[in-house]
Structure 1
Amino acid sequence: MGSVGIQEETGLIISPNALKASHTFDAPDRSVRGRTVTTVFYFELTGDKLPDVAGGDDASLAFWLPLGKLDGRMMFEDHYSVITKMLGL
């Protein structure tokens, strides 16, 4: 997903230089729903204030959450481990 896709889904305008990493998670047993392949993109935003988020149709409840408030027990399947892997936590 490029910066156009990010803008479409979140309303954010992000420089292509903000992309710091991407990874495809494709372990055959990562989901009880069957084989699921997910590609994750890590963007690093700069500035003192986070931009407002305006989620699109399938992300209508998008919001910023401090990393320290993430709770893996409240996330779907392996999403917490995906985030921690991407951030090197």
Structure 2
Amino acid sequence: MIRRRVLVHGIVQGVGFRFSARREAERLGVAGWVRNRRGGVVEAEVEGEEASVAAMLDWLATGPPGAIVERTDVSAREPSGERGFRIAE
């Protein structure tokens, strides 16, 4: 199990990014959360098997239709054993 923190920069708020991310995370079977941050950034933490997390990171680098992802900043975190994927406040 691995966990990654991701900051997604670009036009990523107001385009359904968080809801689409939750749907994709559920499809891939990864745990964690996603939320909007000040400054127009989306932040997420993703935990699961390495291949599934890598697939989710690839998705976050593109986002849903309507999003324009300029870049993602990814850092490692310690897995916490989290279950499910949620939209955080």
- Give 1 or 2 for the bigger CA radius of gyration: 1
TM-score by length of 2: 0.30
TM-score by length of 1: 0.30
Where relative contact order (Cα < 8 A, 6+ residues apart) is larger, the structure is: 2
